[in-house]
Amino acid sequence: MAELHAHVIGAGLAGSEAAWQLARQGIRVTLTEMKPAKKSPAHHSDMFAELVCSNSLRSDRLTNAVGLLKEEMRLCGSLIMKAADAARVPAGGALAVDRDLFSGYITRALREHPLISVVEGEAVQIPDGPVIIATGPLTSEGMAETITALPGLGTLNFYDAAAPIVTLESLNMERIFRQSRYDRGDDYLNCPMNEEEYNAFVDALLAAETAEIHGFEEKSVFEGCMPVESMARRGRMVLAFGPMKPVGLKDPRTGKEAYAVVQLRQDNEAGTLYNLVGFQTRLKWPEQKRVFGMIPGLENAVYARYGVMHRNTFLNSPGFLNAHFEMISRPQCYFAGQMTGVEGYVESAASGLMCGISLGRDLRGLGTAELPGITALGAMGRYVSSPNKNFQPMNCSFGLIDGLVVDKQHKKIRNKQQRYEIIAERSLAFMRDWVREMGISDETSSKVEDSVL
């Protein structure tokens, strides 16, 4: 019998997870990655699964849809989740990681796996045979042209941004207090502002000079990564009710909530770097230093990385991909990651996981991996494949997952957190049975897996 083999193009979060899931099933993988020879403007590291924006994988609570999605992935033996749990840094109820430890873990696991061969270089054509294309929203021009030429496909272009990172030793801790919202630990640094300071900051932000980006329009920015200056243009109080909301934080020096608060989140394991939460920006670098220097505690901040903005490309997936991310007109050709219209680190990795499991099962003659809408994984696949004239990138949310059946015996549960807990329990109960049936749970991990991890 001929050895089973598949190509994976791109070693970002989605491609890395897809390659791992294929190898777990005994499929030999050729993983092609253009780094380190070629990088996009947003890439800095030579390692796989680089986190180009925030270091946060968002909430780890099951009452949050992305928290449920992460737990479903853990049940499926996700490499991305193993790396994230191993590289975790303090972030309250969120899962944030040391970027280098996280990417290093994944890079070693894939390079050391005996069934995975890494090819360094840019891919500009789609190879024949089984393939998962996970080149991401930062797909190179050559591959983007090849993808765009596929029959029945249009593209949607959006813009994404990354927040600045500052060094801890450069912060003025006399003006900063450490606390997580609602007394959930002390993982965040908080820079409080009074009303006068807030208004002066907003005025400076609105007047600051931004970097020119070809084709940029405010309407072309994904809401989840809206630049802070774009938010300020929507109204003077938008920031105070958004990333700078003071709710759940009391300054221990006054015993009261500030008018507004800028939060900083630990960015590396050593705790020497912190990023400005929700402060994605396209301000010119000198302007970032000047305007963000008005934030109490950041007067003399040293920037390990300034905020940047870059273009993202998304497929018009409905009618092009099915619910397990396979190209409808070409069987065994899959697309994974943010380019499919899922939005966020975790969602991208989750789509790669589904592609890897589905293609692996298909190659082994077992059929593809279908999941119902009661699971976060299944709901995500349904979203990208369902007819939608106004298709846009979407984070995982409980709005995508099937709700609870309401009848005479089951009255509507009005408490949202309680309702989400029941939905999550239902999903995980299904997933535990499903992964055992599919043979992909951690209980079925191989000696090879154990050795490379």
| Per-residue pLDDT at 258 | 96
- How far apart are the C-alpha atoms of 385 and 392, rounded to whole Å? 12
Q: Are 273 and 302 in contact (CB under 8 A)?
A: no
Question: What type of residue is 310?
Answer: H
Question: Is 70 exceeded by the pLDDT of residue 203?
Answer: yes
| Per-residue pLDDT at 393 | 77
| Per-residue pLDDT at 405 | 74
Ramachandran bin of 152, using left for φ above 0, alpha for ψ from -120 to 50, beta for the remaining angles: left
- How far apart are the C-alpha atoms of 380 and 83, rounded to whole Å? 22
Question: In this structure, how many other beta carbons lie within 10 angstroms of the beta carbon of residue 53?
Answer: 19
pTM of the model: 0.79
Least confident of 141-145, 154-158, 374-378: 154-158
Q: 196: Cβ–Cβ under 8 A, 6 or more apart, which residues?
A: none
| Per-residue pLDDT at 215 | 52
- How far apart are the C-alpha atoms of 334 and 340, rounded to whole Å? 10
Question: In this structure, how many other beta carbons lie within 10 angstroms of the beta carbon of residue 165?
Answer: 23
pLDDT digits (tens, 9 = 90+) for 75-84: 999 999 999 9
Question: Is 60 exceeded by the pLDDT of residue 217?
Answer: no
| Per-residue pLDDT at 266 | 93
Enumerate the H helices of 208-344 as residue ranges.
228-233, 285-292
The residue with greater pLDDT, 409 or 34, is 34
Least confident of 101-115, 330-344, 369-383, 388-402: 388-402
pLDDT digits (tens, 9 = 90+) for 219-268: 555 556 788 998 999 999 999 999 999 999 999 989 999 999 999 999 98
Percent of the chain at pLDDT exceeding 70: 93
| Per-residue pLDDT at 39 | 72
Residue environment code for 84-108, b if the CB has 16+ CB neighbours within 10 A, otherwise e: bbebbbebbbbbbbbbebbbbbbbe
Domains of the chain, CATH where assigned = 5-158+312-452 (3.50.50.60), 164-306 (2.40.30.260)
- How far apart are the C-alpha atoms of 155 and 15, rounded to whole Å? 20
Question: Is 90 exceeded by the pLDDT of residue 162?
Answer: no
Question: Is 90 exceeded by the pLDDT of residue 3?
Answer: no
pLDDT digits (tens, 9 = 90+) for 420-453: 999 999 999 999 999 999 888 777 777 788 888 8
